[in-house]
Amino acid sequence: MSNSNSFKKIIALLSVIVLVLLCAQYFLYVEISTKNKKISEMVNSLDLQENRQDYLISMQNMLNSMSSNVEAINSSVVSSDADVQFIEYLESLAKENRVNLKIDNLSFEDSAILKDSNVTNFKIKANTSGPWSGTYAFISKLESMQYKVKINKFSAVSQTTDLGDQVTKSTGEWKSNFEMVVLKYK
């Protein structure tokens, strides 16, 4: 009996050890599971933060590119108080190209497209006289100005001298008439 009693004690002891090990394993499992859950939440939070940061960087880049586009658009429209400076610029451009500029008419016209905006059409009717190369260069520079310019009408004629008997000689001078429209803030 003593063998059976000691056998029962060994089985009871082994059962208690197995139970303690199972409890320890359960608590270890719960702790590892809790830590994994916290780690997963932290990783998701970091991913969300990284996505947010990427979004903010892309928005900042978009705003930077848009601000340069807005600046380009703003610089292509004559400012509300720059009428005189624009006319002076046209006169200096003509002088630079050896062309005499005479402005016949200045007017402001609202178009149907621009009626709800703070932009209007600044219409200029003018004529020039000078050599062909200067006239051509002047018109080319008008078309390539930073401002949004549209040349609606343009005509150029060579000036001649009457030598009699239906003979004429070119003087080398050209006269041009043009009408241009530039966008201007009201």
User: Do residues 69 and 89 share a domain?
Assistant: no
User: Could you tell me which residues come within 8 angstroms of residue 86 by beta carbon, excluding any fewer than 6 positions away?
Assistant: 78, 122, 147, 182, 184
User: What does the DSSP assignment read for 114-163?
Assistant: TTTSSEEEEEEEEEEEEEHHHHHHHHHHHHTSSS-EEEEEEEEEEEEEEE
User: Do residues 119 and 167 share a domain?
Assistant: yes
Cβ atoms of 154 and 139 closer than 8 Å: yes
Cβ atoms of 185 and 86 closer than 8 Å: no
CA distance 91 to 149: 16
Structure letter (DSSP) for residue 78: B
Q: What is the pLDDT of residue 114?
A: 66
Cβ atoms of 144 and 84 closer than 8 Å: no
User: Do residues 14 and 66 share a domain?
Assistant: yes
User: Do residues 88 and 180 share a domain?
Assistant: yes
Which of 57, 75, 93 is the last residue in one of the domains?
A: 75
The pTM for the full model equals 0.57
Write b or e for each residue in 66-95: b if 16 or more Cβ atoms lie within 10 A of its Cβ, otherwise e: eeeeeeeeeeebbeeebeeebbeebeebbe
Q: Would you call 82 helix, strand, or coil by DSSP?
A: coil
User: Do residues 111 and 141 share a domain?
Assistant: yes
Domain hosting residue 97, numbered range: 83-185
Local mean pLDDT, 10-residue blocks, the chain (186 residues): 77 89 91 91 88 81 70 71 85 91 86 72 89 88 84 82 61 84 82
User: Do residues 68 and 99 share a domain?
Assistant: no
User: Do residues 50 and 102 share a domain?
Assistant: no
User: Do residues 92 and 46 share a domain?
Assistant: no
Q: What is the pLDDT of residue 25?
A: 92
3-state helix, strand, coil in the chain (%, to 5): 55, 30, 15
User: Do residues 96 and 155 share a domain?
Assistant: yes
- In a 10 Å sphere around its CB, with 0-12 CB exposed, 13-18 middle and 19+ buried, how is residue 176 labelled? buried
User: Do residues 140 and 65 share a domain?
Assistant: no
Tally of domains in the chain = 2
List the CATH number of the domain containing 105. 3.30.70.60
Which of 59, 75, 91 is the last residue in one of the domains?
A: 75
Q: What is the pLDDT of residue 62?
A: 77
User: Do residues 70 and 88 share a domain?
Assistant: no
Q: What is the pLDDT of residue 31?
A: 92
Q: What is the pLDDT of residue 102?
A: 92
Which of 28, 48, 75 is the last residue in one of the domains?
A: 75
User: Do residues 88 and 175 share a domain?
Assistant: yes
